[in-house]
Amino acid sequence: MRVYLDHAATTPVLEPILKKMLPYFGERFGNASSLHFLGEEAKEALEDARKTIAKYINSEPDEIYFTSGGTESDNIAIIGSSKMSERRHIVTSKIEHEAVIETAKYMQEQNYRVDFISVEENGIINTKELEKKLNEDTLIVSVMLANNEIGTIQPLKEMTKIAKRYGAIVHTDAVQAVGKMKIDVKELGIDMLSASAHKFYGPKGIGFLYIKKSTPVTNIIFGGGHERGMRSGTENVSGAVGMAAAIEFCYEHFCELEEKYKRWRDMILNACNNIEGFKLNGDPDKRVVNTLSLSFSGVNGEALAELLSMNEIAVSTASACSSHSSEKIVSHVLRAINLPQEYAEGTIRVVTGADNTDEQIEYFIEHLKKAVAQLRKMGGTA
């Protein structure tokens, strides 16, 4: 039995979503910028996709800009806003995805001051800590909505209120949140939000950036002026159609998906709680329901993932322990939550998805229990 439990890395494009995309590779292949009938057809599909996406995050359609994915959206938000302001200070967190961390480091090289704020041991930012870092020079606060390794959800609405007192722009990387939790950009009060279709059953290579009207941000890619100048390059029409179908799928089936994810989460946690030396990482409640970061002391996470893979179960090692100059490197997220080394090294990330079944979860649990016991017998590694 093949069991895919790595839906935070990417998701399959589900059959009904693929079906909606296919005509845009074939008879409706037009360039959305062309003035003839094929172009018009493509343009219409693109604008319909924009409307659909806007509806599910409660924005206006012209506040949605299509990009190539989460990384590009994050880059536009941070670099693009820096080009429109005299302010020289950026605030982000220690547990961001590399798409934000590396962009922030690039901004440091451009002589911006960057504060990477800490999280508590439950993976949540202390808003008092955030406030201490803010000042009248703060250009942007970029904090993720849901974490890609441990699944924790940040108190974004509260953070936005604080940041707004200092006139800062608020951006959130919602790549791991879209489709898994309800999102209302107006309610959150944020200025920008990044998303990526391949994390919610859409295709790879397409994402979007929500930009609230009148937010001072400009393009970082130059060319033909597509996407109202914000992101030049021929529009990925099939991708946009797929992304819209995917967001629609997630929110139209939200309750039934959530119920399944909760059931599988409880099945997995009940089994793990019976294993000695087990720890669930991140806040037990403030988290997306399908994402579990599981640590087992005295076990090597990579060996565990490999053993599971030999049984056709795909999970990832969130700890990403790698032998680098004989020094063990633990993921920056696990370091930020101060997870003891013996647990950090024995961590796997399990992320369920719409394509899983009860049988698959039972199969996973059975093999997980066996693999942990086997590795411990062998001293941790196979």
Residues that bind ligand PLP (CB under 6 A): 69-71, 97, 99, 144, 148, 173, 175-176, 196, 207
- Per the listing, tokens 């693929």 go with 18
Minimum CB separation of residue 223 from ligand PLP in Å reads 20
Minimum CB separation of residue 12 from ligand PLP in Å reads 15
Which two structure tokens, joined as six digits, stand for 222?
A: 């130059």
Q: Is the Cβ of residue 8 or residue 371 nearer to ligand PLP in the bound state?
A: 8
Distance CA 345, CA 186 (A): 40
Enumerate residues 6+ apart whose C-beta is below 8 A from 153. 124, 145, 146, 177, 181, 283, 286, 287, 288
Active-site residue, 272 included? no
> Do 192 and 211 meet the contact criterion of CB atoms below 8 Å apart?
yes
Q: Is the Cβ of residue 225 or residue 233 nearer to ligand PLP in the bound state?
A: 233
**Pairing state of beta strands 322-324 and 327-329?**
antiparallel
Q: Is the Cβ of residue 173 or residue 345 nearer to ligand PLP in the bound state?
A: 173
Minimum CB separation of residue 285 from ligand PLP in Å reads 20
> Do 170 and 159 meet the contact criterion of CB atoms below 8 Å apart?
yes
Q: Is the Cβ of residue 67 or residue 356 nearer to ligand PLP in the bound state?
A: 67
Which two structure tokens, joined as six digits, stand for 220?
A: 């970082």
Which two structure tokens, joined as six digits, stand for 74?
A: 């994050």
Residue 289 CB neighbour total at 10 angstroms: 19
Provide the sign of the torsion angle of the four alpha carbons 213, 216, 219, 220, taken in this order.
negative
Minimum CB separation of residue 331 from ligand PLP in Å reads 12
Amino acid (1-letter code) at residue 16:
P
Q: Is the Cβ of residue 68 or residue 374 nearer to ligand PLP in the bound state?
A: 68
Minimum CB separation of residue 96 from ligand PLP in Å reads 7
Q: List active site positions.
A: 321
